[in-house]
């Protein structure tokens, strides 16, 4: 029953009329997302309405003029065309394919064309397991991180940490990376953020009041979608517990290369499209079957991919727009998914 009422809530969004304001336009502003009459949820701390953009999963190869270079560049271009500009961009991991410095450097270069700053970037498994994040760290800095923006607390965690399966087998770094780069790697095991980051998270939110709006970015989803493909984070229950004190948490993740949505307790979770290739849905029931993407044409290199814009209103109501280059989205998703 609960699920049905949630679905109705999403389908018959009170913001639907506002959504029509920007149907067909590419660059919704915070104002056009919500109109001027945002319904205040009294308890939540005030947010100064704003938008930010998110890109993820470029999977760049160390091959000259690779098609994925142009797809990421197109995502960057789209964000640069937004008028007005989003406040900043977040990046959700898997910038490279095999963790090579040349891949990450190429990605850094393409992303440097963004007009607005990248305020937060997290690693994916493809960035990490050649040199255990050394190159990535040198290029993109520390993870976990957090920052505050216009009343919202943003958190980024590294969710792709695997227990050592390679040492005992005597695998080389390249062999380790090759294995991890398979989505269905059955020897690699489950990912998680692990103890140290859980401690960090606990400490990071310790002094925040429960009405603080929180947005968390991870590579993998913070719920069990399809563990075999690591569409999960092993210690997500602990993360959700630590963040359980907040009235509302918006969790945004990469890795799944598809439209996927869930609600767990106070957490609204949304998955993103890649700029490389789309993934089919795994053979499990999804919790909100109305919030999915359509079949993809494999002949169109831009189908199934895109960038994302998130608008947050004054009472921490949110909408995510999937900015696609094809007829990928059913009408309800195209209008924007309420977060």
Partner 1 sequence: MNKHNRFTMAGSIAVSLTVLAMFILNEPAQAKKPFTAAEAEDQKNALLEVVAKGDALWHSGSLGTNGLACANCHPDGAAANTETWPKFQTNLGKVGTLRDMINWCIQVPLEGKAIALDSDEMIAMEAYAAYTSRGIAIAPGKDYQSGAVPVISGPGYPTGRD
How far is Cα 246 from Cα 230, in angstroms, rounded to an integer?
Answer: 26
By the 10 Å C-beta count (0-12 exposed, 13-18 middle, 19+ buried), 210 is classed as middle
**3 state SS of 205:** helix
With contacts defined by CB under 8 A, name the span among 157-165, 179-187, 210-218, 247-255 that binds partner 1: 179-187
**Residue 322 makes contact with partner 1 by CB under 8 A:** no
Nearest in space to 30 (alpha carbons), one of 41, 18, 45, 39:
18
Of 301, 317, 285, 271, the residue nearest 19 (C-alpha): 317
In the chain, how long is the greatest CA-to-CA distance? 61
Task: Choose, by CB under 8 A, the member of 26, 165, 277, 288 that binds partner 1.
Answer: 277
Site string for partner 1, 101-140 (x = CB under 8 A): ----------------------------------------
Nearer to partner 1, 81 or 295 (CB): 295
**Residue 39 DSSP class:** P
Give the residue with the Cβ less far from partner 1, 195 or 327.
327
Q: Does 142 bind partner 1 (CB under 8 A)?
A: no
Verify binding: residue 184, partner 1, rule CB under 8 A. yes
List binders of partner 1 among 194-253 (CB under 8 A).
226-229
- Dihedral in degrees, nearest 10, Cα atoms 195, 201, 204, 210: -140
Write out the binding residues for partner 1, residues 64-83 only, by CB under 8 A. Answer: 66-67
CB of 133 to partner 1, least distance (A): 22
Which residues of the chain form contacts with partner 1 (CB under 8 A)? 61, 63, 66-67, 97, 182-184, 186-187, 226-229, 276-284, 295, 297-299, 301
């Amino acid at each position: 029953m609960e699920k049905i009422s949630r679905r109705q809530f999403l389908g018959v969004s009170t913001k639907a009329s506002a959504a029509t304001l920007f149907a067909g336009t590419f660059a919704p502003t915070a104002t056009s997302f919500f109109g001027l009459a945002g319904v205040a949820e009294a308890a939540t701390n005030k947010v100064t309405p704003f938008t930010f953009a998110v890109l993820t999963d470029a999977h760049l190869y160390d091959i000259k003029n690779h098609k994925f270079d142009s797809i990421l560049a197109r995502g960057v271009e789209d964000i640069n065309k937004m008028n007005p500009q989003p406040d900043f961009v977040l990046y959700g991991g898997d910038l490279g394919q095999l963790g090579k410095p040349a891949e990450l450097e190429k990605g850094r270069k393409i992303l440097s064309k963004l007009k607005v700053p990248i305020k937060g970037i997290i690693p994916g498994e493809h960035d990490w397991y050649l040199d255990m994040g050394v190159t990535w760290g040198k290029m993109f800095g520390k993870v976990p991180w957090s920052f505050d923006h216009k009343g919202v607390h943003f958190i980024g965690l590294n969710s792709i940490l695997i227990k050592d399966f390679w040492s005992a087998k005597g695998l080389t770094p390249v062999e380790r990376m090759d294995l991890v780069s398979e989505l269905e790697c059955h020897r690699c095991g489950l990912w998680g953020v692990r103890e140290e980051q859980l401690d960090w998270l606990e400490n990071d939110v310790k002094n925040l009041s429960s009405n603080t709006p929180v947005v968390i970015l991870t590579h993998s989803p913070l719920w069990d979608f399809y563990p075999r493909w690591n569409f999960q984070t092993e210690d997500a229950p602990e993360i959700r517990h630590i963040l359980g004190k907040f009235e509302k948490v918006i969790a945004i993740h990469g890795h799944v290369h598809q439209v996927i949505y869930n609600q767990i307790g106070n957490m609204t979770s949304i998955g993103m499209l890649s700029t490389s290739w789309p993934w089919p849905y795994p053979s499990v029931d999804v919790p909100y079957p109305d919030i999915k993407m359509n079949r993809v044409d494999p002949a169109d290199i831009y189908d199934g991919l895109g960038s994302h814009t998130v608008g947050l209103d004054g009472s921490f109501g949110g909408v995510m727009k999937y900015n696609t280059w094809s007829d990928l989205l059913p009408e309800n998703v195209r209008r924007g998914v309420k977060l």
